[in-house]
Homo-oligomer: A and B are copies of this chain.
Amino acid sequence: MKMKKKHIRFPKRLNFNNGKVEMSHGSGGRAMSQLIEELFQDAFTNSYLRKNNDQAVLPVDKGKIAFTTDSFVINPLFFPGGNIGSLAVHGTINDLSMSGAEPLYLSAGFILEEGFPFSDLKKIIDSMAKTAENAGVKIVTGDTKVVHRGQADGLYINTTGIGVIPNNINISAERALPGDAILISGPIGDHGIAVMAEREGLSYSTSLVSDAASLNGLVKSMVEAVEDIHVMRDLTRGGLAAAMNEISTTAGVGMLIEESAIPVRPEVLAACEIFGYDPLNVANEGKLMAICPSETSEILLEAMTNHPLGVQSSIIGKVIEDEHSFVEMKTQLGGRRLVDWISGVQLPRIC
Contacts and interface: CB of A to CB of B under 8 A. Distances in A.
Given A105-B67, A158-B69, A348-B148, A164 B26 contact: no
A57 B68 CA distance: 18
Nearest to A85: B43
B44 A139 contact: yes
A58 B140 contact: yes
Interface stretch (A117-125, A208-216, A268-276, A306-314): A117-125
Given A39-B122, A40-B125, 4 more contacts: A21-B116, A39-B118, A56-B140, A60-B61
Interface in A224-258: none
A281 interface: no
Interface stretch (A10-18, A169-177, A187-195): A10-18
Interface stretch (A107-115, A197-205, A295-303, A317-325): A107-115
A69 B88 CA distance: 15
How large, as a class, is the contact surface on chain A? 35 or more
A11 B237 CA distance: 45
B147 A349 contact: yes
Given A107-B68, A152-B152, A348-B148, A46 B116 contact: no
Given A21-B113, A26-B146, A112-B25, A63 B65 contact: no
3 interchain residue pairs of minimum CB distance: A26-B146, A69-B107, A160-B160
A150 interface: yes
Interface string A1-31: 1110000000000111111111111110000
A65 B105 CA distance: 11
What is the oligomeric copy number? 2
Given A2-B141, A23-B146, A114-B21, A128 B43 contact: yes
B109 A25 contact: no
A162 B61 contact: no
Interface in A82-127: 104-105, 107-119, 121-122, 125-126
Contacts of A162: 58, 60, 65, 67, 162
A67 to B, nearest CB: 6
A109 B61 contact: no
Contacts of A62: 61-62
A135 interface: no
Nearest to A117: B20
Contacts of A277: none
A332 interface: no
Contact of A71 (B27, B32, B44, B109): B109
A283 interface: no
A35 interface: yes
A31 to B, nearest CB: 9
A340 interface: no
A158 B160 CA distance: 9
Contacts of A19: 117-119
B112 A55 contact: no
Contacts of A116: 20-21
8 contacts: A21-B113, A24-B146, A39-B122, A44-B128, A44-B132, A60-B164, A109-B109, A111-B156
